[in-house]
């Protein structure tokens, strides 16, 4: 009976407890809906209104939202994987085997984490190119573009540090190839290489360093910059693409071929 359910929901929304948590009050007026965004610590990063033309799939392809989706999946699966993982040699590899054969749904968990990570890297690149081609990096949105580049780098580092954790041949040699590049930095190359790995080659110290970076430092940095990234969308004038701006469209129509009058 929908009538009864609605009544119960209404009673809950009117209760003192509910009202103490959600300050926006009940109701579906534009004011209440605006307050629902404004009065929430997470949602207030966003603006209360969005340009209607930005909602269509073609405007953004929802690439930013999907990237956030992969990030959330990665946090959830990542925390669960941490319960079964020891960042030590050779236990790390044994834990991989346990995930594969012993832990319930362990294989699925690792698959989901791994594939989501690959998809996230792809989506971040796609998002960047999409924002560029739609002209959304233009002033006053310059700084948010820069924040986006920082997030691209953090994403690559997250993926790269995670790559070592299974401690298999694939991980070991990919990180060896990559970290050897740091040796090529003029003057301080060897120092950077040593700092990165905690030794002169990929070993147990490197595994621990990559684990701390992957599970603590980089996710916190990502969260921080994601918050700034979202908040700046609102501060810089809301979701916008130059290409479909009514003024731009009108200007490009002027440039279209003119029929000869004869």
* Footprint on residues 151-190 left by other proteins (CB under 8 A): 153, 156, 159-160, 163, 166-174, 176-178, 180-181, 183-186
| Environment class of 197 (CB within 10 Å of its CB; exposed 0-12, middle 13-18, buried 19+) | buried
Give min distance, CB of 137 to other proteins, in A: 5
149 binds other proteins (CB under 8 A): yes
Binding segment (CB under 8 A) for other proteins, from list 3-11, 14-22, 213-221, 242-250: 242-250
Give min distance, CB of 33 to other proteins, in A: 5
Residues between 55 and 84 with contacts to other proteins, criterion CB under 8 A: 55, 62, 65-66, 68-70, 72-73
200 binds other proteins (CB under 8 A): no
Cβ atoms 211, 87 nearer than 8 A: yes
Binding segment (CB under 8 A) for other proteins, from list 8-16, 78-86, 112-120, 209-217: 112-120
By C-alpha distance, which of 173, 143, 158, 138 is closest to 221? Answer: 158
Return the residue of 5, 21, 255, 262 that touches other proteins, per CB under 8 A.
255
Give min distance, CB of 109 to other proteins, in A: 8
- Rounded distance, CA 189 to CA 102, Å? 42
Give min distance, CB of 143 to other proteins, in A: 8
CA 105 to chain centre: 25
Return the residue of 13, 14, 15, 132 that touches other proteins, per CB under 8 A.
132
- Look at the alpha carbons of 240, 244, 249, 252 in this order and tell me if their dihedral is positive or negative: positive
The set of residues, in sequence order, having a beta carbon less than 8 Å from that of 259 and lying 6+ positions away, is: none
The label of the residue with tokens 């968990």 reads 109
Give min distance, CB of 6 to other proteins, in A: 16
In angstroms, the Cα distances linking 77 to 62, 82, 92, 111, 163 are 23, 9, 17, 10, 15
Binding segment (CB under 8 A) for other proteins, from list 1-9, 80-88, 225-233, 241-249: 241-249
With CB under 8 A as the rule, give the number of residues binding other proteins.
87
33 binds other proteins (CB under 8 A): yes
- Rounded distance, CA 110 to CA 100, Å? 8
């Amino acid at each position: 009976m929908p009538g009864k359910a609605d009544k119960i929901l209404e009673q809950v929304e009117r209760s003192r407890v509910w009202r103490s948590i959600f300050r926006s009050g009940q109701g579906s007026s534009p004011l209440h809906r605006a307050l629902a965004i404004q009065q929430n610590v997470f949602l207030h990063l966003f603006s209360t209104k969005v340009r209607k033309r930005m909602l269509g799939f073609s405007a953004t392809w929802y690439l930013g939202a999907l990237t956030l989706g992969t990030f959330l999946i990665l946090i959830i699966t990542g925390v669960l994987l941490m319960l079964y993982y020891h960042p030590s040699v050779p236990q790390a590899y044994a834990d991989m085997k346990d995930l594969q054969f012993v832990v319930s749904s362990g294989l699925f968990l690792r698959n989901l984490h791994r594939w989501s990570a690959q998809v996230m890297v792809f989506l971040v690149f796609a998002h960047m190119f999409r924002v560029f081609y739609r002209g959304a990096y233009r002033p006053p949105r310059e700084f948010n573009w820069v924040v986006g580049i920082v997030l691209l780098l953090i994403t690559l580092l997250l993926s790269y540090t995670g790559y070592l954790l299974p401690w298999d041949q694939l991980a070991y040699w990919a990180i060896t190839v990559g970290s050897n590049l740091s040796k090529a930095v003029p003057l301080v190359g060897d120092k950077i290489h040593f700092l990165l790995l905690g030794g002169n080659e990929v070993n147990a110290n490197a595994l621990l360093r990559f684990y701390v970076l992957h599970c603590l430092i980089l996710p916190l940095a990502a969260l921080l910059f994601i918050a700034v990234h979202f908040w700046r969308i609102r501060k810089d004038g809301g979701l916008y693409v130059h290409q479909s701006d009514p003024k731009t469209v009108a200007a490009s129509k002027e440039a279209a071929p003119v029929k000869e009058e004869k």
